[in-house]
Structure 1
Amino acid sequence: MVKKRVPDWLNSPMWSSPTSPPPKSRSQSPPPPSSSNGDRIGSYLPKSSSIASYDYSLNEPHVTLPPPASIRPVPTPRTEIRDSSTRSSSSDNDITSSIDDVSRQAELLQELSRKIVNIGELRRLASLGIPDAAGIRSSVWKLLLAYLPSDKGIWLSELTKKRSQYKHFKEDLLMNPAFKAACVCTNSWILNVSVASQSEITRKLEDSAYPKNGDQISEGKGLLARSKIPHGEHPLSLGKTSIWNRFFQDSEIIEQIDRDVKRTHPDMHFFSGNSASAKANQESLKNILIIYAKLNPGIRYVQGMNEILAPLFYVLKNDPNEDYAVNAEADTFFCFVELLSGFQDNFCQQLDNSIVGIRSTISKLSQLLKKHDEELWRHLEVTTKVNPQFYAFRWITLLLTQEFNFADSLHIWDALLSDPEGPQGTLLRVCCAMLILVRRRLLAGDFTANLKLLQSYPSTNVSHLLYVANKLSSHSTH
């Protein structure tokens, strides 16, 4: 398959690096993920399959990208759900799309200008898609995720409080235990020193620990004698409350996060490359994921969370409001926590077989397909025996970020985040619509062909996909 280029607006010179390496081809897959606690994808793949060479990587993009002008053509309204294998390219549809985008942009801006934002109306408008050029997706998503309250009068105080809280998280959870232990010993002179001065602090600690010219360490200065080091702060302590013990336990997860972050969207200069901005963005992703893992010991980090975090951080970091862009890391963390709160059971391996776990969610998708297209359901699951876990596990846990190009996934997320009952209902309808849109090919295929098709979903008209998903919602109410 020939890979189309990334849309130009996603690789703006604003964050690109002139010396960045070319995008990796699909044949240059990253090394297989380690079999750590975070790797769960493999357990849901077929035990034996003739597709021996198929790439199951979470991180390699495998769907081609459309040119920017055809990202969101508006389909002609239909009353019948049919298989769609071609994309409309008529100039009439492009013109209609532009007009609709301008109109929706004006409506969204008007709603955002109100003192009290009508969240219900905002959801309705956002579910139709947020124009890329508007520069307002960041604010809309924060409102939809309830990070920003509807009362604009308290936005500043709420943001100040949350950003301060995140700063404390970074100080408490990302600090090296050696430095933290040293702080305990020298708090008389370290209290007023900022985190940014850690290198200077370390130098002073070393100077005080190893006096020059035979000077003796004066009482009350430098490091404590070994006999005076609290047991919980000793590097060999095995206590559960020991900061060193926690540090060594966390190291494996941190290494996994580092590997996954470096593989996140390698075809986008925003996330990948040698530029200072790309490296800073990677560092922000790592900080957020490490802090989330430490604050959520029941889930910690699961491979693929980086793919869910990436769209959030991209949107918030590119907010035209400079203050919002500067504080994107803190804002993204809380939005990420809120988004995962509705999906975290899918990441908890202990709940896989429960009524709230991933298998139950996949079962709901199977039931939804059976309700709307029993013929297709029977062919997939009975005739060709394609277990939905083989493809839907990734669709659901990664919120479709790996099935579509980045630009289209943002528009799908507009609809997911607009659902007043939470994203999962809309997500399942979109997944069901994906099956219906390729039903002719699925009905004609065997196990091998269908599995390959669904694990590498073809390029499609996302506007029409969302239209079909919405029709499924309408049919469900009758």
Structure 2
Amino acid sequence: MVKKRVPDWLNSSLWSSTPSVDDDRLHRYTSEPAATTSSPEPVVEPPVPVPPPSASTAIRTESPKSDRDSRANNNVTNDDNGTSSGPSAEDVSRQAQLIVELSKKIINLRELRKIASQGIPDGPGIRSTVWKLLLGYLPPDRGLWTSELAKKRSQYKHFKEELLMNPVTKNDMLQSVCMYKHGFLNVFVASQSEISRRLEKAKSYEHDETNKGPLSRSEISQEEHPLSLGKTSIWNQYFQDSEIIEQIDRDVKRTHPDMHFFSGDSSLAKSNQEALRNILIVFAKLNPGIRYVQGMNEILAPLYYVFRSDPDEDNVASAEADTFFCFVELLSGFRDHFCQQLDNSVVGIRATITKLSQLLKEHDEELWRHLEITTKVNPQFYAFRWITLLLTQEFNFADSLHIWDTILSDPEGPLETLLRICCSMLILIRRRLLAGDFTANLKLLQHYPPANISHLLYVANKLRKQPSI
């Protein structure tokens, strides 16, 4: 059998990543533990917001890159002397095109996707607005933005009032009312819709002079009994919620420990952690079929960072609400990956990993055979995390944002684009993979080396334009 030969442009040294010391990454989704660790990455900071230019202002040059980007991005383009070069003319032109497009009364989403798919250059609030449009949070008609934002932000405020009240306060969604009568403790746990009724019932019982005996055990319903494990038990629901909230708290505290924006004792970090926590709890309670799955915090972080870094004060104040709805929309395209009951279905995570394997075989059968047949590197060992966390753990934060620009812009949907990018990641390091055994390849794929993101996305796009090789 004749093996399919990869095109010359894929074998070019231009696409090869140079060996480097592996980063210390999360391994909660891998079957093999990390073999080595390295020193932590330097602390990175969010960019300082700058006032947005008016729609009529001509774009002369791109805003300088933030300290965060210059330190976090290990793959900046270098000139012949090895020093970092400034923004390219292409980036400046793309930013100007985006601002012109965003200033129109009716935004052409097709054109916006085309421009943004190449990456959104650093600019005052551009990525924030573009992402909201791409995710359907903002309508194309600019005249509707104010009313739509007000409606959604008010809705999220209502969600928080209904779902995030402290369980030990009187305004709680799950409230205990204890009465001690003649040595008998009767505990009532009420949902918000029944708090008033049960409180009134408790008060009337307490002041009823004709009632001198203890409460009957028959008066305690199954759903009110604190030891009940039934699915309809309010106590059982309360304990499940507590477990999920504890998991969310642990994960939120681990989110990007290398960034002061998310980690540390500063008021900014604590405020941002609280926002992530609120969003994840509200999402879990509104989506009982999925609830919270470990790793969702990693998908949430880029959205919140982008919206919280918007220079517009109103947008900053409502970043939590905006992030919640965009998170829901983004996850809708991947929600089946987080539902354990669907793992073995045609829409589950295993089926998606199989699609990646088939895509690699279609474009580079030699590499596919070496990985899965010769060295027996199961794609689930590395692709599970790549796919479920949308590559947030494989690249530095700045590069992840660039990759997301492309993922969110694709009219075919984010999943197909994600799979092409994952396939491109394999092809870019094919020489090292073909030379490696099981141990070396698994380590390489679980600690993906630094790569030129523009080249990576170029290869991914070539895979779409050339469906067969």
Q: TM-score range by the shorter chain?
A: 0.7 to 0.9
1-structure distance, mates of 2:207, 2:445: 70
* Alpha-carbon offset, residue 398 of structure 1: 0.3
Q: Could you tell me which of 27, 39, 53 is aligned with 2:35? A: 53
1-structure distance, mates of 2:415, 2:268: 33
Corresponding residue for 2:279?
288
8 Å CA contact retained: 1:104, 1:125: yes
Change (3 A) 1:290 1:181: closer
Corresponding residue for 1:163?
153
Change (3 A) 1:93 1:343: farther
1-structure distance, mates of 2:344, 2:309: 39
8 Å CA contact retained: 2:256, 2:262: yes
8 Å CA contact retained: 2:124, 2:311: no
**What whole-Å deviation, never above 9, does each CA across 1:207-243 have from its counterpart, x for those lacking one?**
xx9xxxxxxx999xxxxx9899998667667665554
Q: Could you tell me which of 252, 255, 271 is aligned with 2:246? A: 255
Corresponding residue for 1:413?
404
* Alpha-carbon offset, residue 383 of structure 1: 0.7
2-structure distance, mates of 1:121, 1:308: 26
Q: Could you tell me which of 456, 461, 467 is aligned with 1:470? A: 461
2-structure distance, mates of 1:415, 1:182: 43
Change (3 A) 1:435 1:248: same
Corresponding residue for 1:383?
374
Task: Give TM-score scaled by structure 2 length.
Answer: 0.75
Do residues 128 (structure 1) and 110 (structure 2) align?
no
Identity of aligned residues (%): 68
* Alpha-carbon offset, residue 134 of structure 1: 3.7
The code of the aligned residue for 1:424 comes to L
Change (3 A) 1:296 1:445: same
8 Å CA contact retained: 2:73, 2:399: no
The code of the aligned residue for 2:377 comes to V
Q: Could you tell me which of 76, 89, 95 is aligned with 1:105? A: 95
Q: Could you tell me which of 138, 141, 147 is aligned with 1:151? A: 141
Higher mean C-alpha displacement, 323-332 vs 294-303: 294-303
SS class of match (2:412)? coil
1-structure distance, mates of 2:332, 2:350: 18
SS class of match (1:371)? helix
Do residues 315 (structure 1) and 306 (structure 2) align?
yes
Change (3 A) 1:351 1:69: closer
2-structure distance, mates of 1:470, 1:455: 24
Change (3 A) 1:231 1:375: closer
Do residues 428 (structure 1) and 410 (structure 2) align?
no
* Alpha-carbon offset, residue 135 of structure 1: 2.6
Change (3 A) 1:439 1:177: same
* Alpha-carbon offset, residue 70 of structure 1: 6.5
The code of the aligned residue for 1:350 comes to Q
2-structure distance, mates of 1:274, 1:475: 50
8 Å CA contact retained: 2:69, 2:398: no
The code of the aligned residue for 1:53 comes to A
Change (3 A) 1:373 1:234: same
* Alpha-carbon offset, residue 245 of structure 1: 3.3
* Alpha-carbon offset, residue 183 of structure 1: 8.3
Output aligned runs, 1:252-401, within 5 Å: 252-401=243-392
Corresponding residue for 1:78?
none
8 Å CA contact retained: 1:61, 1:402: no
* Alpha-carbon offset, residue 405 of structure 1: 0.2
8 Å CA contact retained: 1:144, 1:418: yes
Change (3 A) 1:458 1:466: same
- Structure 2 residue runs without a partner (length 5+): 1-18, 45-67, 178-201, 209-213
* Alpha-carbon offset, residue 244 of structure 1: 3.9
Change (3 A) 1:308 1:133: same
* Alpha-carbon offset, residue 133 of structure 1: 3.0
**Alpha-carbon RMSD:** 3.5
Q: How many residues align?
A: 391
8 Å CA contact retained: 2:118, 2:406: yes
Higher mean C-alpha displacement, 227-236 vs 257-266: 227-236
8 Å CA contact retained: 1:177, 1:243: no
Change (3 A) 1:477 1:337: farther
Change (3 A) 1:95 1:226: farther
* Alpha-carbon offset, residue 72 of structure 1: 6.2
2-structure distance, mates of 1:3, 1:271: 25
* Alpha-carbon offset, residue 277 of structure 1: 1.1
1-structure distance, mates of 2:117, 2:124: 15
Task: Give TM-score scaled by structure 1 length.
Answer: 0.74
Change (3 A) 1:461 1:372: same
8 Å CA contact retained: 1:308, 1:399: yes
SS class of match (2:123)? helix
1-structure distance, mates of 2:354, 2:261: 37
Change (3 A) 1:93 1:121: farther
Change (3 A) 1:91 1:128: farther
**What whole-Å deviation, never above 9, does each CA across 1:137-190 have from its counterpart, x for those lacking one?**
0110000000111111111111111111111111111113442379899xxxxx
1-structure distance, mates of 2:114, 2:344: 35
8 Å CA contact retained: 1:316, 1:324: yes
1-structure distance, mates of 2:439, 2:323: 40
8 Å CA contact retained: 1:384, 1:447: yes
Q: Could you tell me which of 432, 444, 454 is aligned with 1:453? A: 444
* Alpha-carbon offset, residue 474 of structure 1: 0.6
Output aligned runs, 1:38-117, within 5 Å: 41=29, 45-46=31-32, 53-54=35-36, 67-68=70-71, 73=76, 89-90=79-80, 97-117=87-107
Corresponding residue for 2:7?
none
1-structure distance, mates of 2:140, 2:464: 27
* Alpha-carbon offset, residue 98 of structure 1: 2.5
1-structure distance, mates of 2:131, 2:34: 40
